[in-house]
Structure 1
Amino acid sequence: MQLSSVPRPFDRLLLIAPFFFWGTAMVAMKGVIPHTTPLFLAGLRIGPAGFLVLAVSLLLGRSQPQGWRAWLWIVLFALVDVTLFQGFLAFGLVRTNAGLGSVMIDTQPLAVALLALWLYGERIGLWGWLGLAVGIAGISCIGLPDEWIVQLFQGHWFDGSISLSSLQWSQIFDSGQALMLVAALSMAVGTVMIRKVCEYCDPISATGWHMILGGLTLFLGSGLWESNQWTDLDSASWWLMVYAAVFGSAVAYGLFFYFASTGSLTSLSSLTFLTPVFALIFGNLALSEVLSPIQFGGVCLTLVSIYFVNQRDRLPDWERVKGVAISLPESVARLWLRDS
């Protein structure tokens, strides 16, 4: 199925589906986390989904990894993009709500832009740098304690009444938002690594295998350091995990890779901001999660920054903006003289 240039309603739903599933899967995981342990939850979400993705790759006849280089890069990819990412995500969910967690996770395009600049020399541009600046402001409003932001706007940070040593830094390092930010950085590194992985193996097969290997590592860690992983899980929790694994991982990744392979990558990148929107909406409806006014402002700034970074190649560059700024007053003057 090839999407047309003007998507039909059903095509629009399919384009939105991966981000809906990722956002609502965060809410499902948040609902389960009080009844289980973080590493077991992470492994249960990603491991079974990997087998589903691998089965699809076999049905499609995609080539499987060959040689030690392919397997080495898949193992490294699994360690960063699954074990670290999903592990920090699950631990972060223990201490923060699903909506804010999803916002922090979706800041990874900001880190990807900087990593791509450093490693591959990719252009960031005017809008990309503006997005990064707005993103830092948004993340600060979300991750820093509200009283710190209030004190900043009241000028207490500049009049000498507050010093860095007097701040309670444990409020940051012990918060779920900080763990989510580390998870986002892990995902960003994994996103940059995919280029190298695809040099040696098929991307769909590599996705399935790295989810399986990363899931096994999470289960191993759970067996070593956690206990009573499933004793408190009820039937509703198991169904939520089935949803997170099947729809939030296997189906979402499958649709995402399908649309990317059919040339819809630009459309997908512009929809990235929908994931935290869905997480915030359903987190409020299902879990009664409420944001403070400062956190809500941070969410808005972060979504704007993600849009700027994702769309930086489509937005007018500085020369075009400057040209419009110079020519607009002249055009208005000519119209006024003509009409007068």
Structure 2
Amino acid sequence: MESVHQGSVFAQKKVVWLCAAFCCLLWGSAYPAIKSGYEIFQIATDDIASKIVFAGYRFLFAGLLLLLFALAQRKPCARMRPRQFGQLALLGLTQTSLQYFFFYVGLAFTTGVKGSIMNATGTFFSVLLAHFIYQNDRLSYNKTLGCILGFTGVMVVNMGSGLMDFSFSLAGDGSVVLAAFILSAASLYGKRISQTVDPTVMTGWQLGLGGLALVAGGYLSGGKLALHGGASVAILAYLTLLSSVAFALWSILLKYNRVGMIAPFNFLIPVSGAVLSSIFLGENILEWKYALALVLVCSGIWWVNKRAG
């Protein structure tokens, strides 16, 4: 009976791992999709306000889509206490508005390949923050080694032609790293809220409110967004679906599993982001530093999830 139980537990873990990997594959595809969106919508590199409007509509539509889905399932989308609504508003302003402000700005000043690898720092932040917040999610030897390997990968991708030639753009790489930290901290806050609010409803509200704040802020700053044929509709629709599916599924995974078990899968984002950026944007992924960085971050995933002794 014990072996049957162990087999059932392992099967459940495999489903969780597959779902987490699927979320990260979707998020990785966002890098080439966003940069392609800049070209399709004809948004200039220095037009930050229009980039914010673009991001805002993506999350506003994603939030509305999730809330409609929750209503179809007869979930209580509006029956919540003022304190709960305040928590959702704070989550939306941090996890969506603030985080994606820095993410979209950073991606405008770095490549899709490099940005996807830099964003993997969010995994370290999640594992480290969970160590101080949750009693059952402490750092172990394997987690520490995995984080060191992953962080080393991030350092490698910023090297130039020589080992002492370090290239780090504050506007580009720095903004992406800051966005990763904000997402990690906000995700832990979202895990707490998901214990009292349905994850789909929570994600719908936080994306919708955060997206609305981005749209308003972008337009007030002089931004604009005009459709340019079917391609612009298609790319915005894809980003909308990507956000709604990935964030809702990720919130469910975080509600029922330890952060330390789920967060390390974020290391898959740079892998999928780098490969897809290479395919769709024609960016060079064959440089030794990119290959070495991807090997290191993938090794980090393995070590963090490896059972102790």
Scaled by the length of structure 2, the TM-score of the pair is 0.80
2:24 is aligned, of 19, 22, 27, to 19
| Distance apart, 1:61 and its partner CA | 2.4
Give distance in 2, aligned partners of 1:221 and 1:245: 19
Answering whether residue 222 of structure 2 is matched by residue 226 of structure 1, we say yes
* 1:64-86 deviations in Å (ceiling 9; x for gaps): 35122101211111111101121
Aligned to 2:296: 301
- After superposition, the Cα gap between the structure-2 partners of 1:271 and 1:109, relative to the gap in structure 1 and judged at 3 Å, is closer
| Distance apart, 1:194 and its partner CA | 1.4
CA contact under 8 A between 2:52 and 2:104: conserved in structure 1? yes
1:172 is aligned, of 169, 175, 178, to 169
1:289 is aligned, of 283, 287, 296, to 283
Aligned to 1:206: 202
Give distance in 1, aligned partners of 2:222 and 2:303: 41
* 1:91-148 deviations in Å (ceiling 9; x for gaps): 1221122233222223312101111122334311001111222222222222x3415x
Scaled by the length of structure 1, the TM-score of the pair is 0.74
1:94 is aligned, of 94, 108, 111, to 108
Aligned to 1:42: 55
| Distance apart, 1:88 and its partner CA | 1.3
Partner secondary structure for residue 151 of structure 1:
coil
- After superposition, the Cα gap between the structure-2 partners of 1:53 and 1:93, relative to the gap in structure 1 and judged at 3 Å, is same
Give ranges in structure 1 of 5+ residues lacking alignment: 153-166, 321-340
RMSD: 3.2
CA contact under 8 A between 1:33 and 1:93: conserved in structure 2? no
2:70 is aligned, of 57, 77, 91, to 57
Q: What are the residue-to-residue correspondences of 1:265-276 with 2, within 5 Å?
A: 271-276=265-270
- After superposition, the Cα gap between the structure-2 partners of 1:271 and 1:243, relative to the gap in structure 1 and judged at 3 Å, is same
* 1:218-272 deviations in Å (ceiling 9; x for gaps): 00111111334326x44313311111111x1123334445667788999966754
- After superposition, the Cα gap between the structure-2 partners of 1:234 and 1:177, relative to the gap in structure 1 and judged at 3 Å, is farther
| Distance apart, 1:192 and its partner CA | 1.1
Give distance in 1, aligned partners of 2:261 and 2:130: 20
Answering whether residue 232 of structure 2 is matched by residue 237 of structure 1, we say yes
- After superposition, the Cα gap between the structure-2 partners of 1:252 and 1:83, relative to the gap in structure 1 and judged at 3 Å, is same
- After superposition, the Cα gap between the structure-2 partners of 1:132 and 1:255, relative to the gap in structure 1 and judged at 3 Å, is closer
Answering whether residue 153 of structure 2 is matched by residue 138 of structure 1, we say yes
Counterpart of 2:35 in structure 1: which amino acid? Answer: K
Work out which of the two has the higher radius of gyration on C-alpha atoms and give 1 or 2. 1
Give ranges in structure 2 of 5+ residues lacking alignment: 1-7, 44-49
Counterpart of 1:293 in structure 2: which amino acid? Answer: W
Give distance in 2, aligned partners of 1:60 and 1:25: 28
* 1:171-197 deviations in Å (ceiling 9; x for gaps): 5313x2221111110110111101332
Partner secondary structure for residue 230 of structure 1:
coil
Q: What are the residue-to-residue correspondences of 1:100-115 with 2, within 5 Å?
A: 100-115=114-129
Give distance in 2, aligned partners of 1:14 and 1:30: 26
| Distance apart, 1:33 and its partner CA | 1.8
Aligned to 1:333: none
Aligned to 1:73: 87
- After superposition, the Cα gap between the structure-2 partners of 1:54 and 1:283, relative to the gap in structure 1 and judged at 3 Å, is same
Answering whether residue 265 of structure 2 is matched by residue 252 of structure 1, we say no
% of aligned pairs identical?
Answer: 23
Give distance in 2, aligned partners of 1:195 and 1:250: 17
* 1:288-329 deviations in Å (ceiling 9; x for gaps): 0114322432232223224433x1xx422xxx3xxxxxxxxx
Aligned to 1:116: 130
Give distance in 2, aligned partners of 1:13 and 1:77: 26
- After superposition, the Cα gap between the structure-2 partners of 1:136 and 1:263, relative to the gap in structure 1 and judged at 3 Å, is closer
Answering whether residue 197 of structure 2 is matched by residue 182 of structure 1, we say no
Counterpart of 1:119 in structure 2: which amino acid? Answer: I
Give distance in 1, aligned partners of 2:16 and 2:150: 31
CA contact under 8 A between 2:100 and 2:179: conserved in structure 1? yes
- After superposition, the Cα gap between the structure-2 partners of 1:275 and 1:136, relative to the gap in structure 1 and judged at 3 Å, is closer
Answering whether residue 307 of structure 2 is matched by residue 315 of structure 1, we say yes
Counterpart of 1:282 in structure 2: which amino acid? Answer: L
| Distance apart, 1:54 and its partner CA | 1.0
Partner secondary structure for residue 42 of structure 1:
helix
Give distance in 2, aligned partners of 1:282 and 1:145: 22
| Distance apart, 1:52 and its partner CA | 0.9
